[in-house]
Amino acid sequence: MAKRIRYEKVTVTDFASEGKCIYKSETDGVIFIEGNVAPGDVVDLEVFRKKKNFQEASVVHTHHYSDKRAEPYCDHFQTCGGCKWQHIRYSEQLQFKEQQVRDHMIRIGKIKDANVLSIVPSGKKLFYRNKLEFTFSNARWLTNEEISSDNVYTRNALGFHVPKRFDKVFTVEKCHLQPDPSNAIRNGLHQWAEGRGLEYYNIRDNKGMLRNLIIRTANTGEVMVIVQFAEERDELIEEVMTFLQDRFPEITSLNYIINQKGNDSYQDQQVVHFSGAKAIRETMEALTFLVGPKSFYQTNSDQAYQLYQIAREYAGLSGSELVYDLYTGTGTIANFIAKNAKQVIGVEYIEEAVADARINADLNAISNTIFFAGDMKQLLTGDFLEANGYPEVIITDPPRAGMDPAVVETILNAGPQRIVYVSCNTATQARDILLLSGQYRVEKIQPVDMFPNTHHVESVALLTKI
């Protein structure tokens, strides 16, 4: 067996994409480093993968810790795949995220003088998410200490998947991402279910009663819980749901799903409403948004408000404009800006999301929004523009993959005066901006930190017609 390559007492150079760091070797080029590491650390590295243009390595020993570090706050830090940057000072996180946006615009978008503004920080560093999903498993991840011990441990778990192990779950004692009563509900259900002897799910053989737990918490204080069961056993389902209803009266919407597929996705599954309201309410300015079990809503409510305010400002609306809101989802942006526009047309692929958008428009007595459901590249055509009007402003908030080339082409044909591009992936945002650059120039780009203690960053770009 070939001896692995090692680098001793090297200084970690910088952050890299996907939450990794890098060491730039003068002789061997870029080496990507995974795990608990920060720029400025002095470490020994061991290479576990060698490619043509780069290597990947892990830290085997740390000689000196960087001053960019912070003390991790979570007991699950070394096991969990979330909050990977909690060991990095928040000011350093923000600097890297802002620089990442700038680098993508220069390198991918070919914008020489990218006007990237100072990133908008998150007011909350902890407990900022309004939705989390937890997995039941009868094959709990065991630590090295547990494996080497003679003790017998329970193998049931309710928590998150171990990174890169789809079949292993570790039990979460306390998650710092979602506010109360999230931890209490999860821990209470886990303790009760184990005591009751209920079967936890095994993803390899697709068996077991309890499968998945989804908790949504709104800024109104309302709480939604959805339990996924892998078996249709009415009496046990009734017992589980009644326990949650009685033990946690703060749950305002209680639902369940019987999912017998090979994965936990539930957009194509029937949701059974058990008790309480069928939706919870989020508020933003004077608006109320109903969030159902399948609804998409930005998972950081406070920062979503910051994001939408920026989008509205960049749209520069006077009240006379026709606005297209592409990838509108549940119509949050469309309804948020409607009072400032003549009419807003939202286009979205998922029909259930469009139904939510219409409900939220009616709920807020908004009469100047229209929503269409369909595949964006097939629906948004020249005929669509002729039938519904050519927009003065287009707001687009695509998924991480960015916009389809056919959608970019239709936008160019539509020729709006301004394009507001909201993105959760600045690499594909920069790629699309380059495709638009023949007719549009970028005025400014505003990064927004939606997910503290992770490498993710959102940005809003304003493009004006040349």
DSSP state of 157: E
Decide the pairing of beta strands 42-50 and 54-64.
antiparallel
Torsion of CA 142, 147, 152, 158, to 10 degrees: 0
262 touches 206 (CB < 8 A)? yes
CA gap 399, 423 in Å, rounded: 8
A 10 A CB-CB count for 216 gives 26
CA-based nearest residue to 383, from 410, 356, 344, 419? 410
Enter the tokens of residue 126. Answer: 């902890």
Choosing from 21, 74, 80, 424, the catalytic residue is: 424
- Residue 23: strand, helix, or coil: strand
3-state secondary structure string, 264-298?
CCCCCCCEEEEEECCCEEEEECCEEEEECCCCCCC
Distance between CA atoms of 438 and 432, rounded to whole angstroms?
11
**102-124: b (≥16 Cβ within 10 Å) or e:** bbbbeebbebeebebeebbbbee
Give the residue among 294, 185, 175 at the shortest CA–CA distance from 240.
Answer: 185
| Measured torsion, CA atoms of residues 265, 271, 277, 282, in degrees rounded to the nearest 10 | 30
Query: For residues 32 and 14, what is the distance between their CA atoms, to the nearest angstrom?
Result: 10
d(CA 123, CA 380): 37
Q: Does residue 80 carry a catalytic annotation?
A: no
Q: How would DSSP label each residue in 406-459? A: HHHHHHHHH--SEEEEEES-HHHHHHHHHHHTTTEEEEEEEEE--STTSS--EE
Which is it for the CA torsion 82, 84, 88, 92, positive or negative? negative
The label of the residue with tokens 């999230």 reads 182
As to burial, measured by CB atoms within 10 angstroms (0-12 exposed, 13-18 middle, 19+ buried), residue 330 is buried
Query: Which residues are 158's β-sheet partners?
Result: 136
List residues with catalytic annotation. 424
